[in-house]
Amino acid sequence: MRSPATRSEERGSATVEFALVLPLVLVVALAVLQVGLVLTDQLVVVEAARGGAREAAVTLDDEAVRQAALRAGGRLDPERTEVEITRDGGAGDPVTVDVRYRAPVAVPGVRCSVSVLAATVCGFAVVLALLTLDVSRAIAGRSRAQSAADAAALAAADELALPTGRDPASLAASYAARNGARLVSCRCAEGSGEALVTVEVPIALSILGPDRAVRVSARAVVDEPAIFSSAAGGAGLQPWFARELVCLNRLVPGLVLESGFRTHAEQARLYREKPDLAAPPGHSLHERGLAADLAFPSAEAEARAHALAGSCGLAFPVSGEPWHTSPTGLE
């Protein structure tokens, strides 16, 4: 039979142990909460970078790209957010959008007691923290892999839509590598009308294993650029010139290609019908796929196209023919 003094000592011991463990439990709870908040911020930052990259693909205005990234970021504090735009060239060339966010972190530290119970709780806290970190790394890795897959699929589809002679699969691999991923497969055969890519991103996990990888797929459908939707189409145009026309159409929506590539016979016929307007056969850039006649949806669109043509490498060189455009410096 235990004496009242013994029961009192046991209650006192339990109270001391609880007092030692409670701060640790609170720290673990705060740590898990903080990791969750940081993970949320990481996913939002990735989405902000995606939004900025999408905007950068259609405009050369860096401030518009920054605002698009901030809008996509939504909950991110603009004062803590940095957006960096790096372009490899002009319109149609690769562009990288980096978004950095200084997330506030405040988790207090507490020393562990040397008692067995407190040591057990400390060990559990460490395991739980590592497991939470593994989960966050896996989610962040999947988000990064999805961004890489999207970029790879779009690059392959762009090559299928406007061929430049490069291998779509090689382009997909290059864009996957730019985003820290490895291309696993690319179903992007010429004439298929779509690009389906699979990429993987390696992740190092503390508990679940060091040699892990996240694998995701993305699909991009090849769509005819709006400017080539007319009967004239874009067939026969030099690929790099076609890309410049697409660039201008992105800046000035509603443009339509009325006349592009012409054969020697077509140019000769047009010269016979309109000798004061058409160039003699053998002397027209249309025959080389380096000239286009555009239709504008409005006078305002025409003025805007003329003002922005230089940013896409284009010019409207012929006086009295505001519809005629060609690459800068050729006429």
For 283-304, write each residue's pLDDT tens digit.
Answer: 889 999 899 999 999 999 999 9
Q: In this predicted structure, which of 91-95, 121-125, 188-192, 238-242 has the lowest mean pLDDT?
A: 121-125
Mean pLDDT over residues 9-29, rounded? 59
- pLDDT the model gives residue 166: 85
Burial category of 250 from C-beta neighbours within 10 Å (exposed 0-12, middle 13-18, buried 19 and up): buried
pTM for the full predicted model: 0.55
pLDDT for 110 equals 40
User: How many CB atoms are located within 10 Å of the residue 158 CB?
Assistant: 21
Give the pLDDT confidence score for residue 10 in this predicted structure: 47
Predicted confidence at residue 4, as pLDDT, reads: 47
Spell out where 66-116 has E strands.
Answer: 81-87, 95-101
- Note the pLDDT tens digit of each residue in 93-133: 778 888 888 877 655 444 444 444 455 555 666 666 677 77
Provide CB contacts within 8 A for 139, sequence distance 6+.
Answer: 39, 43
Closest CA to 261 of 286, 231, 229: 286
Q: What is the mean pLDDT of residues 157-170?
A: 83
Q: Which amino acid, 59?
A: T
Angle at 321 between CA 317 and CA 326, to 5 degrees: 40
8 Å CB contact between 245 and 257: yes
Q: Is the CA virtual torsion 69, 73, 79, 82 positive or negative? A: negative
Percent of the chain with pLDDT over 70: 73
Which option is the CATH number for 227-327: 3.20.20.30, 3.30.1380.10, 3.30.300.30, 3.30.1950.10?
3.30.1380.10
User: How confident is the model at residue 117, as a pLDDT?
Assistant: 46
**Mean pLDDT of the residues in the chain:** 79
pLDDT of res. 9: 46
CA-nearest of 97, 202, 94, 98 to 154 is 94
Q: What is the greatest pairwise CA distance in the chain?
A: 123
Q: Classify 252 in phi/psi space as left (phi over 0), alpha (psi -120 to 50) or beta.
A: beta
Point out the least confidently predicted range of 47-56, 92-101, 104-113, 223-232: 104-113
Work out the average pLDDT over 215-231.
76
Alpha helices in 162-178, H assignment, sequence order: 168-178
